[in-house]
């Protein structure tokens, strides 16, 4: 080793660089720390900053060489006449012992120009494999590569339990105009916690943030990200292969919406884990006959009362129920039971927590600066800036992440209407028009199109479903035809009309009959899902059972009738947990579904069992009868027999399948038994009753039609043949030709 005599200019530059390193202000720490060749005299210098070290040695030519301490706060340096190997191995002596490590500043950059270019263009679909924290081997050394986007930072550092949360120690490499920073730190483990500390280049303010691309986080109330890796071996190959070839347009789709934290608690009142849910929830959904389960948001979120809709870790699996591998295990179990998994996804807004995405590098980075564009007034959150390519890339990459890494079968996209309209829930003067003077959010529209194109191209058989509450056209039509590209759309109009109708006392329903029939005017303009979701049973809206009018018997009869109507009308289906047992109280995020209602011995408990059996039988009927699902989206699958019997509040209709098979549905929305009620039928023969919501097993009065119903050559309701039936009170029946 040798010492050199630097020039006065060199000394001044080095002194300034040392000062910036010690003050954690250096924009380019790799230009000073690590290995550098001094071109004037052909020597090499290695500099390290280790504030907790007592001494530092470098492995060179098989021997340990001691570095000179050039500053009391932990700067060490050695100069060599021979090349110093990269990466260089250091031995560090501290008060508590010694350890060996490779110097992070002696590794070459691992981000490629292609990655940085595509990210800047908004086209890096696998951004989650570039940004964030990733265990990898670089130049023969295993460690973690950290990368983060913070274009308005003067300096960015990784801080964690491995460096005493000291922002001076692991300052990151800047990748220029891309705004991306990275550093490779060897010898870290999956038990290590980390955040990013950054200094804003405009204000000098120091900010500490969690990782936007973090895969795992510490337990609440902590907010640090956790180094994570995947060890799960998937066993759902049969399901995934079949999904590629599924004709989803004509397949049954009946979804059970679940909030994992309140579906069921254990005996101690604690959450069930993902692995426990892989047994209990999967078996429940399978036994009930649902084809899919929809998970309310499971991305990491700090507040349970947000139900997961205010996400702080978009790539992080909430640890309330276990690890990311535990979640994979649960999804795998669903697939092995032939049940698809839909994820409730929230790209519309994010919370203002100061440790998460909000003003990430000290500026409005993921959101708009102007609150007329960037703040969601209803929810007190920020709105994503979809026009910024790195932001749309973040969201599309997040969708790719869930579909790819967790084998999710589809995304239900929350609050689409709030994203499409610039004036959503805003008064005049509180919003800014687009460049054409309109209210449409052009950037959000383009985002949806690119999202749906990506899903269609990369994940055959996966679905996207829009929760969109307005009359925006062609939401579920392909992008190449001018649509937004979603596969399906929630039919909020049908839901609102149906509930508004059935909440009326039966004596008044005759005056609102159009609410039952109006939906058929637009039923095939989109690929609709008929939802009774969590939004209908919270915030004082009452449970579905409690919405029903009348005494206890009538409430349960109305609920069975409502379920029959939903399950036999055109459109795919969704029901929120608790609906299937007729829970009497509203959903409470902090308590379990009232499963005890199925086990009580007081009079009336059998009605809850009856509701569950109604759902089970209708689910299986919907799934196994092609007439009830193959033409859900096409007008050929539905025909009114009679939609004009307002005085008796009765509707009757035909559902047809692709193979021309059909069933007849008749619904009586009054508590009056109708005998010898005649309906026209499309074909002569003997009909029999295959479902009756008034059956004893459902808690009904057991009125109905035993044996064959033979047609008569009596023209009725535009049909040449007709049958005379018994129509139970507040009930629906399904008839099939033998």
C-alpha dihedral sign at 77, 80, 86, 90: negative
**122 pLDDT tier (thresholds 50, 70, 90):** very high
Query: Residue 538 corresponds to which tokens in the numbers above?
Result: 């919270």
Q: How confident is the model over 7-23, as a mean pLDDT?
A: 80
pLDDT tens-digit series, residues 53-98:
999 999 998 999 999 999 999 999 999 999 999 999 999 999 999 9
Which candidate, 281, 278, 279, 275, places its Cα nearest to that of 262? Answer: 281
Provide the 8-state DSSP code for 592: -
Q: What's the rounded Cα separation, in Å, for the pair 105 and 267? A: 52
At residue 701's C-alpha, the angle toward residues 700 and 706, to 5°, is 105
Query: Residue 733 corresponds to which tokens in the numbers above?
Result: 């029946």
Is omega for the bond preceding 123 within 30 degrees of 0, making it cis?
no
| Least confident among 40-49, 231-240, 281-290, 536-545 | 40-49
**41 pLDDT tier (thresholds 50, 70, 90):** confident
Q: How confident is the model over 581-592, as a mean pLDDT?
A: 96
Q: What is the pLDDT of residue 554?
A: 97
Q: What is the pLDDT of residue 672?
A: 98
Q: How far is CA 89 from the centre of its chain?
A: 43
**233 pLDDT tier (thresholds 50, 70, 90):** very high
Share of the chain above pLDDT 90, in %: 95
Query: Residue 475 corresponds to which tokens in the numbers above?
Result: 């939401």
Classify each residue of 32-56 as buried b or exposed e, where b means 16 or more C-beta atoms within 10 Å of its C-beta: bbbbbeeeeeebbbbbbbbeebeeb
Q: What's the rounded Cα separation, in Å, for the pair 179 and 150? A: 5
pLDDT tens-digit series, residues 160-219:
999 999 999 999 999 999 999 999 999 998 889 999 999 999 999 999 999 999 999 999
Classify each residue of 72-97 as buried b or exposed e, where b means 16 or more C-beta atoms within 10 Å of its C-beta: eebbbbbbbeeebeebbbbbbbeeee
pLDDT tens-digit series, residues 333-361:
999 999 999 999 999 999 999 999 999 99
- HSE of 582 in the Cβ direction (CA atoms, 13 Å)? 31
Q: Which domains does the chain have, with CATH numbers?
A: 8-106 (2.60.40.10), 113-226 (2.60.40.10), 635-737 (2.60.40.1180)
Q: CB count, 10 Å around CB of 613? A: 18
First-to-last C-alpha distance (Å) of the chain: 98
Would you name the residues annotated as active-site residues? 414, 467
Q: What's the rounded Cα separation, in Å, for the pair 579 and 661? A: 30
415: left (phi over 0), alpha (psi -120 to 50) or beta: left
pLDDT tens-digit series, residues 697-724:
999 999 999 999 999 999 999 999 999 9
Q: How far is CA 399 from the centre of its chain?
A: 8
Residue with tokens 């699996």: 317
The pLDDT mean for the chain works out to 95
* Cβ burial, residue 221 (10 Å; 0-12/13-18/19+): exposed
Q: How confident is the model over 44-56, as a mean pLDDT?
A: 95
Is residue 147 a contact partner of residue 181, using CB atoms and an 8 Å limit? yes
Q: Is 178 helix (H, G, I), strand (E, B) or coil?
A: helix
Q: 169 vs 31, 97, 134, 173, CA distance in Å?
A: 15, 19, 19, 13
Q: What is the pLDDT of residue 4?
A: 47
> Residues near 486 by Cβ (< 8 Å), separated by ≥ 6?
413, 448, 452, 464, 465, 466, 475, 476, 527
Q: Where are the alpha helices (DSSP H) in 236-321?
A: 237-244, 260-263, 274-288
Q: What is the pLDDT of residue 189?
A: 87
Q: What is the pLDDT of residue 8?
A: 56
Higher pLDDT, 9 or 380: 380
Q: What is the pLDDT of residue 7?
A: 52
Q: How confident is the model over 118-126, as a mean pLDDT?
A: 96
Is residue 224 a contact partner of residue 195, using CB atoms and an 8 Å limit? yes
Q: Is 308 helix (H, G, I), strand (E, B) or coil?
A: coil
Q: What's the rounded Cα separation, in Å, for the pair 311 and 326? A: 20
Instruction: Name the CA radius of gyration of the chain, rounded.
Output: 32
Is residue 645 a contact partner of residue 668, using CB atoms and an 8 Å limit? no
Res 497 pLDDT > 50:
yes
Cα torsion for 37, 38, 42, 43, to the nearest 10°?
-70
């Amino acid at each position: 080793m040798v010492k050199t005599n630097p020039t006065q200019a060199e000394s001044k530059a080095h002194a300034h660089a040392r000062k910036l390193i010690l003050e954690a202000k250096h924009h380019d720490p790799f230009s000073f720390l690590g290995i550098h060749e001094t071109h004037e005299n052909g020597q090499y210098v290695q500099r390290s900053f280790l504030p907790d070290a007592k001494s530092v040695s470098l492995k060179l030519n098989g021997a340990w060489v001691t570095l000179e301490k050039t500053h009391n706060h932990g700067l060490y340096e050695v100069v060599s006449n021979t090349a110093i190997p990269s990466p260089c191995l250091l031995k560090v002596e501290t008060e508590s012992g010694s350890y060996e490590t490779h110097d992070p500043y002696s590794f070459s950059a691992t981000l490629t120009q292609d990655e940085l270019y595509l990210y800047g263009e908004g086209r890096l679909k696998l951004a989650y494999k570039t940004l964030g924290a990733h265990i990898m081997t670089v130049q023969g050394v295993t460690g973690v590569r950290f990368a983060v986007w913070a274009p308005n930072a003067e300096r960015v550092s990784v801080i964690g339990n491995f460096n005493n949360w000291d922002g001076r120690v692991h300052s990151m490499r800047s990748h220029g105009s891309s705004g991306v920073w990275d550093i490779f730190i060897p010898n870290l483990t999956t038990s290590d916690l980390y955040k990013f500390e950054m200094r804003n280049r405009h204000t000098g303010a120091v900010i500490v943030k969690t990782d936007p691309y973090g895969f795992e986080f510490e337990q609440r109330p902590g907010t640090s990200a956790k180094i994570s890796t995947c060890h799960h071996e998937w066993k759902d190959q049969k399901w995934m292969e079949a999904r590629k070839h599924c004709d989803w347009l004509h397949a049954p789709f009946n979804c059970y919406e679940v909030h994992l934290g309140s579906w069921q608690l254990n005996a101690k009142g604690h959450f069930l884990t993902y692995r426990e849910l892989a047994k209990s929830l999967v078996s429940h959904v399978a036994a009930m006959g649902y084809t899919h389960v929809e998970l309310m948001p499971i991305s990491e979120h700090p507040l349970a009362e947000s139900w997961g809709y205010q996400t702080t870790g978009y790539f992080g699996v909430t640890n309330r129920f276990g690890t990311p591998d535990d979640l994979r295990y649960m999804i795998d179990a669903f697939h092995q039971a032939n049940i698809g998994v839909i994820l409730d996804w929230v790209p519309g807004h994010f919370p203002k927590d100061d440790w998460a995405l909000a003003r990430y590098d000290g500026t409005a980075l993921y959101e708009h600066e102007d609150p007329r564009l960037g703040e969601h007034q209803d929810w007190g959150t920020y709105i994503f800036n979809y026009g910024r390519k790195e932001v749309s890339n973040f969201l599309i990459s997040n969708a790719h992440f869930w579909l790819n890494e967790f084998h999710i079968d589809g995304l239900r996209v929350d609050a689409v209407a709030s994203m499409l309209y610039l004036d959503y829930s805003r008064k005049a003067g509180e919003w800014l028009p687009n460049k054409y003077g309109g209210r449409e959010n052009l950037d959000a529209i383009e985002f949806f199109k690119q999202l749906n194109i990506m899903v269609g191209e990369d994940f055959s058989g996966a679905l996207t479903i829009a929760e969109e509450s307005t009359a925006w056209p062609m939401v579920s039509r392909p992008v190449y035809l001018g649509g937004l590209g979603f596969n399906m759309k929630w039919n909020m109009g049908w839901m609102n009309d149906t509930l508004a109708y059935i909440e009326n006392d039966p004596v008044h329903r005759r005056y609102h009959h159009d609410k039952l029939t109006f939906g058929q005017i637009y039923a095939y303009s989109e690929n609709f899902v008929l939802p009774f979701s969590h939004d209908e049973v919270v915030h004082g809206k009452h449970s579905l059972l409690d919405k029903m009018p009348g005494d206890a018997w009538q409430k349960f009869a109305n609920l069975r009738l409502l379920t029959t109507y939903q399950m036999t009308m055109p459109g795919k289906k969704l029901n929120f947990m608790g609906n299937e047992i007729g829970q009497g109280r509203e959903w409470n995020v902090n308590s379990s579904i009232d499963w005890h209602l199925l086990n009580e011995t007081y009079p009336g408990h059998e009605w809850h069992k009856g509701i569950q059996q109604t759902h089970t039988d209708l689910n299986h009927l919907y799934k196994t009868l092609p007439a009830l699902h193959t033409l859900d989206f096409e007008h050929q699958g539905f025909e009114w027999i009679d939609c004009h019997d307002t005085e008796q509040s009765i509707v009757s209709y035909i559902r047809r399948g692709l193979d021309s098979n059909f069933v007849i549905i008749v619904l009586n929305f009054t508590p009056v038994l109708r005998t010898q009620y005649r309906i026209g039928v499309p074909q002569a023969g003997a009909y029999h009753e295959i479902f009756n919501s008034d059956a004893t097993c459902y808690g009904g009065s057991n009125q109905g039609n035993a044996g064959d119903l033979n047609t008569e050559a009596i023209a009725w309701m535009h049909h040449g043949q007709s049958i005379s039936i018994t129509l139970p009170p507040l009930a629906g029946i399904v008839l099939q030709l033998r």
